[in-house]
Amino acid sequence: MRRLDVMFPSEGCECVAWLYLPEGTRPAPVVVMAHGLGGTREMRLDAFAQRFCEAGYACLVFDYRHFGGSEGEPRQLLDVTKQLQDWKAAIAFARMRADVDGSRLVIWGTSFGGGHVLTTAADNHQVTAVISQCPFTDGMASSFAVPPWTYIKVTARAMRDQLGAWLGAAPVTVALVGKPGATALMAAPDAESGYLQLVPKHSAATFPNFVAARFALQIIRYFPGHKTPRITCPVLFCICDPDTVAPTYTTLRHALRAPKGEIKCYPYGHFDIYVGEAFERVVHDQISFLRRTVPLN
């Protein structure tokens, strides 16, 4: 396989991406991929992309604006509308390339990105198939999974940040992950160790474990699971049970409403699915789904 460093425009900024191309002369179906809450492509998405490419599929793995190697100021600004725009731009870029088969296009998202692919597929009927891994589907359910005192502290910081943004001030930030009781977006017992294990060792010391706090005012109003009945293509839901970030019961309820949904449940936590035995099981199922729904010939 080959891995190319590429860029594509999104709303006046450049998003960076890896383009994986499998062996062979014929353009292959392409899987467009992105991460979850504050994640970048270096956080184990390369492991999934390599397996898909070995199976014969091209992959476009991108960083959202404001994160990783992509442009966008201020840094670490997590905005639902902007990220959905980035998905739209990534799909358009993949469809225009001659070295992949953009007419057979799969979107793959994990965690918060797992919610984005559901929203995107419901609004874009050119998508051939969807893989939604441990997806965020319901802002209310995920917010109620956070201890009340933590939620109050995060919301207070978010309101300060939003007010400052209106006045042109620098962002007020909040931690992405922390220990139980910390003022963080994710503070479940498995969150800090599970999330940070995905950061490559070479960047662990400099990884920005924070985002602009105003995002907490958006998350409670985002319900990608509500759009599952409108998705007309096949969808594979890879659901963790138990899941401390995207509550399992709520995810299952939304997944069952997808007309062509296929559900796989795994006895692992939200952050376990990227490594070890859990990774091997889920990537095997995802490749099987790709071969059935988007065959190579």
State the average pLDDT over residues 19-40.
Answer: 95
Q: State the pLDDT at residue 284.
A: 98
Residue 148: pLDDT band (50, 70, 90) is confident
Summarised one tens digit per residue, pLDDT across range 84-140 is: 999 999 999 999 999 999 999 999 999 999 999 999 999 998 899 999 999 999 998
Q: State the pLDDT at residue 147.
A: 84
Percent of the chain with pLDDT over 90: 92
Q: Which residues contact 245 (CB under 8 A, 6 or more apart)?
A: 111, 134, 136, 142, 145, 186, 188, 191, 270
Q: Which residues contact 295 (CB under 8 A, 6 or more apart)?
A: none
At how many degrees (to 10) do helices 112-123 and 80-96 cross? 60
Q: Whole-number mean pLDDT of the chain? A: 96
State the average pLDDT over residues 58-85.
Answer: 97
User: Does residue 291 surpass a pLDDT of 90?
Assistant: yes
State the average pLDDT over residues 38-50.
Answer: 97
CB 124 within 8 A of CB 160: no
Between CA 131 and CA 18 the distance in angstroms is: 19
Judged on CB neighbours under 10 Å (0-12, 13-18, 19+), 236 is: buried
**DSSP-assigned letters across all residues of the chain:** -EEEEEEEEETTEEEEEEEEE-SSSSPEEEEEEE-STT--TTTTHHHHHHHHHHTT-EEEEEPPTTSTTS--SSTT---HHHHHHHHHHHHHHHHH-TTEEEEEEEEEEETHHHHHHHHHHHH-TT--EEEEES----HHHHHHTS-HHHHHHHHHHHHHHHHHHHTTPPPPEEEEE-STTSSEEE-STTHHHHHHTTS-GGGGGG---EEEGGGHHHHTT--GGGGGGG--S-EEEEEESS-SSS-HHHHHHHHTT-TTEEEEEESS-TTTTTSHHHHHHHHHHHHHHHHHHS---
Half-sphere exposure of residue 33, counting CA atoms within 13 Å on the CB side?
28
User: Does residue 144 surpass a pLDDT of 90?
Assistant: no
| Topology of the domain comprising 2-139+222-293 | Rossmann fold (3.40.50)
Question: In this structure, are strands 13-21 and 28-34 parallel, antiparallel, or unpaired?
Answer: unpaired
Please tell me whether the overall predicted TM-score, pTM, comes out greater than 0.75 for this model. Answer: yes
State the average pLDDT over residues 287-296.
Answer: 97
What are the extents of the domains in the chain?
2-139+222-293
* Token pair belonging to 242: 């138990």
State the average pLDDT over residues 15-22.
Answer: 98
What residues form DSSP beta bridges with 262? 236
